[in-house]
Structure 1
């Protein structure tokens, strides 16, 4: 296996373990076992677990940012109604919902609150979410989308956290989004 493949396998294992057991479940032996690599490969590629967690969050953030920026381009220069924007935003929220495979990044965002080196990585990911919010609000014709986008993102993340914490998917995301969008529209 090539070094890049080994590193990717290790990071995939880290994200899977964090998603299923939390950060406290991460151990080099468990990572090696899940990744199908030697224990020496884990310590060769990542001198510490902090390095692994940073690399895993960085990789997630880069992939998420690229994916979100592609979505931004889809909404740029569109003339959306509030209902269309709410439906599009709900679809995106469902796509980025914190299901088991998305719990790992969420836990690592919380870890970023404790690890100063993760702040910038998390900020870049949230900036991509904000850019998508700006694109949707701009397409809606909101007068100052930059001032509203982070609140829209926070509401969606909060609804997703509620869904994750309770296991109940009863939040009508589209209606909540529509209220914010109508308040932001001219």
Structure 2
């Protein structure tokens, strides 16, 4: 018999898959139960409301992304971190050429946060984590005032990812985003 935390995680994973495949409107307790391989009662036992389910799914996704991005940033601590290494990191963040449901789901959740103010705090936490990680990478590249530019970097990457989702543009285009940002950053003053 699965442990309660395993059941809860199966439900969250199912929600993210459903959102990525068919959008938030497709998230029903019956479909979640079927996708997660749990009873219908388990869904309502673990998540009392749809809002709680969406919020927890968003927070789970962010925690995983933050962990992944932090590992990537921590791996770039040596003195040889340059634009080439940064480009490799951006390419890894882009996740290759496939856009599966786990890549699509966050966009759906962020749009839903625009409609549901109760989800906005979770979305804000997500973007704060992305901004922090972007600032670390920009700082290692020697970009002046990385904290100020981090939000812009994140917005550029998200915009490029959305474009990639909509048009099928290659992941390598995200590297161009990084190059543009580092070239346009104001020079450091001594």
**What is the TM-score when the length of structure 2 is the normalising length?**
0.86
Structure 2 counterpart of 1:10: 11
CA distance in 2, matches of 1:165, 1:48: 31
1:1-186 alignment runs, 5 A limit: 1-76=2-77, 78-94=79-95, 98-169=99-170, 172-184=173-185, 186=187
CA distance in 1, matches of 2:83, 2:34: 49
Unaligned runs of 5+ in 2: none
Unaligned runs of 5+ in 1: none
8 Å Cα contact 1:69/1:132 also seen in 2:
yes
Per-residue deviation, 1:22: 0.6
Relative distance call for 1:99 and 1:78 in structure 2 (3 A) is: farther
Relative distance call for 1:36 and 1:178 in structure 2 (3 A) is: same
CA distance in 2, matches of 1:95, 1:121: 26
SS across alignment from 2:115: coil
Per-residue deviation, 1:81: 3.0
CA distance in 1, matches of 2:173, 2:11: 37
How many residue pairs get matched?
A: 186
Per-residue deviation, 1:70: 2.3
Relative distance call for 1:101 and 1:124 in structure 2 (3 A) is: same
Moved more, 98-107 or 48-57: 98-107
CA distance in 2, matches of 1:93, 1:133: 14
Per-residue deviation, 1:76: 4.2
Per-residue deviation, 1:98: 4.9
SS across alignment from 2:38: coil
CA distance in 1, matches of 2:119, 2:21: 21
Deviations 1:47-102 (A, max 9, x none): 22222111111111122222222223223464533343234323323369853322
CA distance in 1, matches of 2:146, 2:64: 24
Aligned-residue RMSD, C-alpha: 2.3
SS across alignment from 2:75: helix
Per-residue deviation, 1:156: 0.9
Deviations 1:154-173 (A, max 9, x none): 11110110011122327632
